[in-house]
Amino acid sequence: MADTSENVARTGIGPVLVLLHGGGPGVDAESNWASVRSRLSDEFRCLAPDLLGFGARIEGPAGIRGPRAWALARARQVLDLLDREGLERVHLLGNSAAGGAAALAFLSLAPDRVGRAVVMGGAGTGPPPRVVPFYDDPTENSMRATLGRLVADESAHRALLDALTAVRLRQALRPGAEPAFRSMFADVAGGPPPVDLTKLANPVLALHGARDRVSPVEVSERLVDALPDARLEVVAGAGHWIHVDRPDAFCGLVGEFLSA
């Protein structure tokens, strides 16, 4: 079932878990979490919104620029969603530089609304990419190569990557998608201050793939060192997409931590 105004997928019963997808070109909540959402829904009531700048929310707020501004806008989007749903307290699962960064911003904005949080791939706390992915060469081959870097072994996921390439290429080329995506990586002066990680008191689990080709494990090590109540799990054999490469380990770690 989905809220057509924002495309929020709702599945499962139990404690509420908000799934915040990653930030690759053409992503949406449905394609990001397809490999694990049914498993997570066995334990949690999952809400998976399309984040601002993607999917049904492709245009995002007018004039917004820079990763910190986007993360804060998405945190406010999630807070609005909780208010509309009448949810006082939820868990968060944030993927990479979009969902992970939004989760950290939400912990700063409304910590009392969160029980526990899981973040993946460094949660956008590492250095920005040297080039904007895909849009400097917006072709099918470029999209396929962009997605291929997210898994540890492309040969193990060839059919999935081929299918996702078609979906994400179509969505990445929609009107408004490229300007929104480029603005997410804009180097801007001023804007919202960075999240003070040392003041985020909620329990956090940081997951990182041992074979991540997008963000080195050291990014999550530094993140965990800065957070007051956090631990790191490095998942053997997984790339940036831990939930795709190692779905059993991923769901086990998430379920165990959030149910503690």
CATH number at 126 reads 3.40.50.1820
- Quick: pLDDT tens for 119-154: 999 999 998 888 888 999 999 999 999 999 999 999
* pLDDT at 6 exceeding the cut of 70: no
Total domains in the chain come to: 1
DSSP per-residue letters across the chain: -EETTTTEEEE--SSEEEEE----TT--HHHHHTTTHHHHTTTSEEEEEPPTTSGGGTT-STT--SHHHHHHHHHHHHHHHHHHHT-S-EEEEEEIIIIIHHHHHHHHH-GGGEEEEEEETTTT-SPPPSS-TTTTS-SHHHHHHHHHTTSS-GGGGHHHHHHHHHHHHHHHTSTTHHHHHHHHT---SSSSPPP-GGG--S-EEEEEETT-SSS-HHHHHHHHHHSSSEEEEEETT--S-HHHH-HHHHHHHHHHHHT-
- The question of whether 196 is a catalytic residue gets the answer no
* pLDDT at 79 exceeding the cut of 70: yes
What is the rounded average pLDDT for all residues in the chain? 94
**Residue in 96, 142, 215, 220 annotated catalytic:** 96
- Quick: pLDDT tens for 10-24: 887 899 999 999 999
Q: Average the pLDDT over 227-237 and give the result.
A: 98
**Residue in 157, 208, 240, 243 annotated catalytic:** 240
* pLDDT at 78 exceeding the cut of 70: yes
- The question of whether 157 is a catalytic residue gets the answer no
**According to the model, what pLDDT value does residue 41 have?**
96
**Residue in 28, 31, 41, 212 annotated catalytic:** 212
Largest CA-CA distance found in the chain, in angstroms, rounded? 45
* pLDDT at 215 exceeding the cut of 50: yes
- The question of whether 96 is a catalytic residue gets the answer yes
Q: Average the pLDDT over 15-42 and give the result.
A: 96
Residue-number span of the structural domain to which 247 is assigned? 2-258
Which band of pLDDT confidence, cut at 50, 70 and 90, is reported for residue 5?
A: very low
* pLDDT at 2 exceeding the cut of 60: no
